[in-house]
Structure 1
Amino acid sequence: MPKNAKHLVVSKTNSLIEATYHLTLAEQRLLLLVIAKIDSRQELGAGISHTITTDDLASAFAVPRKQAYELLRDAAERLYGRSVIVHRPDAIDPNKDYTLTRWVSTVDFDGSRGEVSLFFAPGILPFISHLRREFAQYQLIHVARMTSIYAIRFYELLIQWRAAGSREVLVEWLRERFDLQDKYTSIRDLKRFVIEPAVEQINAHSDLWVKWEQRKRGRVVEALIFTFGPKAESKPETQADSPAKPKPTLTREYVQQHAQPGESWEEAWERLRRKHGA
């Protein structure tokens, strides 16, 4: 169990949870770790740096320390080039359609110390700091073991409606928010590569159980309906007595052969590592 994630809490405005963006698994983890380490009750300035070390990443997400800085550095470099669209960003001014901003404005790298320092872009600060209303919180540990980028986002969409225990999401709305563009254009592929793995990982790793069904208009799947709630405490499962299968060596060739559509090499490596306990 990732020990440093146990007491870290992620806080985001609802509009940021429902924003349009795409991040790799490594980028999501870096961003969530930074957000969880700040005090969302305080007002942050654009000139404040937020430092993440290899130890932070390794202990929060069970990443091997010898590879942690490389993953940290690559994630920070990619995150620097990413943008996000926040829809209806201002509750006071409902006529404002959306805000387009970057996540970070500057990244400093220090390989000798094994750390990177991020400076949030001014446009993103209102959605992660000085939060007073319309925001959601959850413990980082509940997503720390997820390897699907969509599982993390689905989990955030569900906890917004935690009190209701159900949420209906239009398929086209979901595709836009997840920035799928021309990926998984058929509902069959969307279910296979996005919805089903996400639900499986939420059920396996988070504090929620979730079930889902689809709603059709004619023959077209128009919406997805999620029913969910907190898990009851359960007894540890016992393993059947069976010969252990040899663990595969996660070479670059093996990872490339077993990567799922849309996965980066890093995401596939992390998923396979957790699957096989390598």
Structure 2
Amino acid sequence: MKDLVVKDNALINASYNLDLVEQRLILLAIIQARETGKGINANDALTIHASSYIKNFNVEKHTAYAVLKDACKVLFDRRFTFQSITSKGNVKTTHSRWVSEISYVDNEATVSLIFSPAVVPLITRLEERFTTYELKQVSQLTSRYATRLYELLIAWRSTGKTPIFEVDTFRQQLGVATDEYTRSDNFKRRVLEVAISQINTFTDIAVKWEQHKIGRSISGYSFTFKAKYSSKAIENTNNNEIQATSISPKQIDLFSKKLAHDLAFASKYSEIGESYENFTQRIYHHLTDPKKLKEYAPYLKQLGFKQ
């Protein structure tokens, strides 16, 4: 199974300031909870071994040990802010820590952490709107701003374009401190251009950006992006037809999930606001339909389907 990172969109759009190692540690903890089937709660600790960090982010052993130990010292004090809607339809702003407890075991090279009560539902609540992506898409990003920008963008993968992100809110979402890169040219050169360059080089999407002004001042930024392999190229693949009798129930279950996570497929077929579970279920039923199976065949073969 692919290492999938799943976050509620309230958390994706939250304002927080984590360095690169801390972001990676949070992502590994999310994946660990999914892989073990333990789930995430505010009582039980999740354990991340340095070997997982080494494997996923291609760093030296001594480097992994050192950065994880340092991350434990500061992650407990990290806070973030997010918004939600109350039962009466009002906006509620919540301030929370990421973790309620974190520790590092020297002789075992492991990090043990417990997410705070506010974080738990934002990571585990899959029936509502959320964002999911493969860890490998951000594993080569070395800018902490690149990882955050990728998450903000991928939340809009069904449309391939974002609304205008207002400057102050956007800076907070990326984790840029109020006293950092205060000049717009520095922000663009040191934050935005570096992040976009890394995303375009190392991830599955190609991004373009546009700045917006009110008078002479920059008021915000918007982005458009697309999957790096086009639907047209996929559709031109030879021998795309798949017979309904050649796909087993087990394959239907497996590839309905794979298709739901595939950016090119989701960009074309997902509906705005549709949850991952609903999208997966819709694909599942489509894969039992010979006409839909033929339509989806190019994507299935790109994802490794063999008759």
TM-score normalised by L of structure 1: 0.77
Matches within 5 A, 1:43-62: 44-62=40-58
Query: Structure 1 residues 37-46 or 47-56, which shifts more?
Result: 37-46
CA distance in 2, matches of 1:205, 1:38: 26
**Correspondence 1:110 to 2:105:** yes
Post-superposition shift, 1:225?
1.8
SS in 2 for 1:112: helix
Q: Partner amino acid for 2:171?
A: R
Contact 1:44 1:130 survives alignment (8 Å): no
Match for residue 31 of structure 1?
26
SS in 1 for 2:40: coil
Return the index of the structure with the highest Cα Rg. Answer: 2
Question: Normalized per residue, which structure has more helix?
Answer: 2
CA distance in 2, matches of 1:9, 1:214: 32
Contact 1:43 1:130 survives alignment (8 Å): no
Match for residue 137 of structure 2?
142
**Would the alpha carbon gap of residues 33 and 222 (structure 1) be closer, same or farther in structure 2, given more than 3 Å must change?**
same
Contact 1:86 1:98 survives alignment (8 Å): yes
Q: Partner amino acid for 1:52?
A: I
Contact 2:8 2:125 survives alignment (8 Å): no
Match for residue 73 of structure 1?
69
Tell which has more relative contact order, 1 or 2 (C-alpha 8 A, sep 6+).
1
Query: Structure 1 residues 123-132 or 200-209, which shifts more?
Result: 123-132
Q: Deviations over 1:201-251 (max 9, x none)?
A: 0001110000112111221111212110100289xxxxxxxxxxxxxxxxx
Q: 1:204 aligns with which of 201, 205, 226?
A: 201
Q: Partner amino acid for 2:216?
A: R
CA distance in 2, matches of 1:91, 1:228: 33
Matches within 5 A, 1:115-134: 115-134=110-129
**Would the alpha carbon gap of residues 216 and 172 (structure 1) be closer, same or farther in structure 2, given more than 3 Å must change?**
same
SS in 1 for 2:104: strand
SS in 1 for 2:124: coil
Match for residue 166 of structure 1?
161
CA distance in 1, matches of 2:133, 2:154: 8
Q: 1:219 aligns with which of 199, 208, 216?
A: 216
User: Between the two proteins, what is the percent identity of the paired residues?
Assistant: 37
Question: Alpha carbon RMSD of aligned pairs, Å?
Answer: 2.0
Post-superposition shift, 1:123?
1.5
**Would the alpha carbon gap of residues 93 and 11 (structure 1) be closer, same or farther in structure 2, given more than 3 Å must change?**
farther
Match for residue 150 of structure 2?
155
Q: Partner amino acid for 1:188?
A: D
CA distance in 2, matches of 1:90, 1:121: 20
CA distance in 1, matches of 2:67, 2:154: 28
Contact 1:109 1:117 survives alignment (8 Å): yes
Match for residue 101 of structure 1?
96
Q: After the TM superposition, which segments of 4 or more aligned residues of structure 1 sit over 6 Å from their partners?
A: none
CA distance in 2, matches of 1:38, 1:92: 29
Q: Partner amino acid for 1:229?
A: K
Contact 2:86 2:92 survives alignment (8 Å): no
TM-score normalised by L of structure 2: 0.70
Q: Which runs of 5+ in 2 are unaligned?
A: 234-307
CA distance in 1, matches of 2:165, 2:214: 14
CA distance in 2, matches of 1:195, 1:225: 12
**Would the alpha carbon gap of residues 93 and 83 (structure 1) be closer, same or farther in structure 2, given more than 3 Å must change?**
farther
Matches within 5 A, 1:232-251: 232=229
Contact 2:33 2:39 survives alignment (8 Å): no
Matches within 5 A, 1:10-21: 10-21=5-16
**Would the alpha carbon gap of residues 122 and 222 (structure 1) be closer, same or farther in structure 2, given more than 3 Å must change?**
same
